Amino acid sequence: MKYILVTGGVISGVGKGVIASSLGTLLKSCGIEVTSIKIDPYINIDAGTFSPYEHGEVYVLDDGSEVDLDLGNYERFLDITLHRDNNITTGKIYKLVIEAERRGEYLGRTVQVIPHITDAIQEWIERVAQHPVRDNITPEVCIVELGGTIGDIEGMPFVDAFRQFQFHVKRENFCVAHVSLVPSPSSTGEPKTKPTQASVKELRGFGLSPDLIVCRSEEPIGIEVKKKISDFCHVAPEQVICVHDLSSIYHVPLLMEQHGVIEFLKERLQLSIRPEKRENCLQRWKSLTRRSEKLHKQVTIALVGKYTKFKDSYDSVIKALQHAALQVGYKLKLNFIYSELLESKTLTEDPSNYHKVWQLLCESDGVVVPGGFGSRGIEGKIIACKWCRENNRPLLGICMGLQAAVIEFARNVLNLKKANTTEIDPTTEHPLVVDMPEHHSTEMGGTMRLGKRKTIFKSELSIVKQLYGNPQSVDERHRHRYEVNLKYVNQLEEQGMRFVGVDESGERMEIVELQNHPFYVATQYHPEYLSRPLKPSPPFLGLILASVKGLSKYIARGCHLSPRQMSDASSDEEIQMTTKINTSKLNGHSEHLQQANGCFVNGSSQAELIIASNGKSNGVA
């Protein structure tokens, strides 16, 4: 087993997750099986109880574990399925050691950070590195990202564990990539290398020497700066890689490949890369980024949520929208709308922001109402659902978004004016949404319906079922504690709100569609977690198609792209392959050309974010 440790310096959020994912992409493109581990030095057992403003979204895996959003990057880049133990926290390690001590496994010895905590860390990494993450194949390389920055007190046991680990697994099986910031202050106008020098010096002081120094900067840095870092940080100039700000994170693997990272890793870790594999490296990624740069048409989607001050709060939703938009040849523009500002009370308290967010909503081609918890902003989500229903605007509700759509329909169509969720009003006269009794608990973490669960389609006429390819059921990931009240389902369906998907018991409503509407769909599960650059999530694809008025034609073609969409979304080679396959079958009817092998390579365009939150713009990504 080969190990690559990715550390960070100067500041947090410097991009270690994308660098780690890109290293894995480079290796996987050469035919090497890769797995990933994320280390978070906080004492929490997992990320499930975090506010999205703390660490961004909580990402959910198949097994129901709530983990750091970087594991979402790993799964999307590498198209693998990670597990609970691929996310290590200080809380997990100390819990493991303390439980072992209580069982008497240390035979009366004093339990200390060294060697007991550091040994537990090393044993965990070696065990998890062997766990298959794709097709039951044992990985060859494990990429470990150490969260935080070098020098953080909470990260010290992990740093020392890796100091020992490098000798345990031998030098030829272990290398370190250190990601550091190279700022360019406007007062001087030139890149400053001193922060990186100090960061590398500190890393060396802890017994780890970087093999690669990845310099993050706003603009490309010149050869003089690279040479200076090389001289002061004791690495060769070719081991200093500059990754400047790019229009899309999917360009990062290509940039690193241009810097010769594949050849370096091949020699440093003594990897066996077959020549025929090496020649085909990154062809799909090159095609993906090339297509994303050619997009001219634009689709505008409003994301109506309560955590819009921090775009990482909806990282997977944003990526899923990007995947779907590129699939049909559109550049994505996102209008982030703080849902509370849509409420009528804002009109009197802050009329300027009220009109601003309503303008953003009205100019959008489609709307996403994502998940969330708590009472703040729920009425704004309900208002957004009402506006979409009455104005025939495409809507995709997710988790609480489904609950908001159901409550709105009950209030304004069934005339149940006091309809609400018991999460907000436990004594509501009409509890349209109630908590699930088996998830009652005095604790907060891990007490929801979590992980991959089966959804069974009830109706053959379902739009969502057709988007999935007409299966009898689908498996998607969940994260919720409340559900639609079964007592109101018949009343809702009688008025046109159809529950087309249910769980295996038939008592939990998973998918809702509104009759006589271009696209009014909501899911209790989170489809964004399984969206991939090469395979967009079907509900998100349906939203984008409806937003560009192409859904009905897409479904009429049997859920295949039109020739024009294929030319926008596919490389020249793919179009030629598809045309060759289908022309002989369709006798010249080019309008019915189907996709070769079921889908086309797709990916992410740069999202233009307009953030409306308390009247202040929070930046453009």
Q: Which of 33, 423, 476, 528 is catalytic?
A: 528
Would residue 399 show up in a list of annotated catalytic residues for this protein? yes
Closest CA to 517 of 470, 458, 463, 466: 463
Task: Output phi, psi for 151, to 5 deg.
Answer: 110, -15
Give every strand in the sheet of 174-181, ordered side by side. 87-89, 34-40, 141-146, 2-8, 174-181, 212-217, 240-244
Asked if 23 and 4 count as a contact pair (C-beta separation under 8 A), the reply is yes
Asked if 27 and 141 count as a contact pair (C-beta separation under 8 A), the reply is yes
Would residue 238 show up in a list of annotated catalytic residues for this protein? no
Span 473-487, pLDDT tens digits:
999 999 988 899 999
- Cα→Cα distances 48→76, 80, 445, 495, Å: 20, 22, 6, 37
Neighbours of 101 (CB within 10 A): 14
Helix (H) or strand (E) holding 228: helix 223-233
Q: What average pLDDT does the chain have?
A: 85
Q: Residue 108: its pLDDT value, please?
A: 80
State yes or no: pLDDT of 174 exceeds 60: yes
Would residue 263 show up in a list of annotated catalytic residues for this protein? no
Q: Residue 416: its pLDDT value, please?
A: 93
Torsion sign, CA atoms 442, 439, 60, 58 = negative
Task: Tell me the CATH number of domain 294-564, given options 3.90.1300.10, 3.40.50.300, 3.40.50.880, 3.20.20.70.
Answer: 3.40.50.880
Q: Residue 344: its pLDDT value, please?
A: 87
**Beta pairing, strands 331-338 & 608-612:** parallel
Q: Give the distance, in angstroms, between the CA of residue 281 and the centroid of all CA atoms in the same chain.
A: 24
Residue 603: band (very low, low, confident or very high) from pLDDT cuts 50, 70, 90 = very low
Classify burial at 368, counting beta carbons within 10 Å of its beta carbon; exposed 0-12, middle 13-18, buried 19 or more. Answer: buried
State yes or no: pLDDT of 577 exceeds 80: no
Task: Tell me the CATH number of domain 1-289, given options 3.40.50.300, 3.40.50.720, 3.40.1710.10, 3.40.50.850.
Answer: 3.40.50.300
Residue 490: band (very low, low, confident or very high) from pLDDT cuts 50, 70, 90 = very high
Give the predicted TM-score (pTM) of the model.
Answer: 0.86
Residue 601: band (very low, low, confident or very high) from pLDDT cuts 50, 70, 90 = very low
Residue 53: band (very low, low, confident or very high) from pLDDT cuts 50, 70, 90 = confident
Span 360-395, pLDDT tens digits:
999 999 999 998 887 888 999 999 999 999 999 999
State yes or no: pLDDT of 62 exceeds 60: yes
Span 421-439, pLDDT tens digits:
998 889 899 999 998 765 4
Q: Which of 75, 399, 478, 559 is catalytic?
A: 399
Query: Which three-class secondary structure state does DSSP give residue 262?
Result: helix
As a whole number, mean pLDDT of residues 395-407 equals 95
Residues with Cβ < 8 Å from 485, sequence gap 6 or more? 431, 432, 433, 434
Residue 569: band (very low, low, confident or very high) from pLDDT cuts 50, 70, 90 = low
The domains of the chain are located at 1-289, 294-564
Q: Which of 116, 251, 478, 526 is catalytic?
A: 526
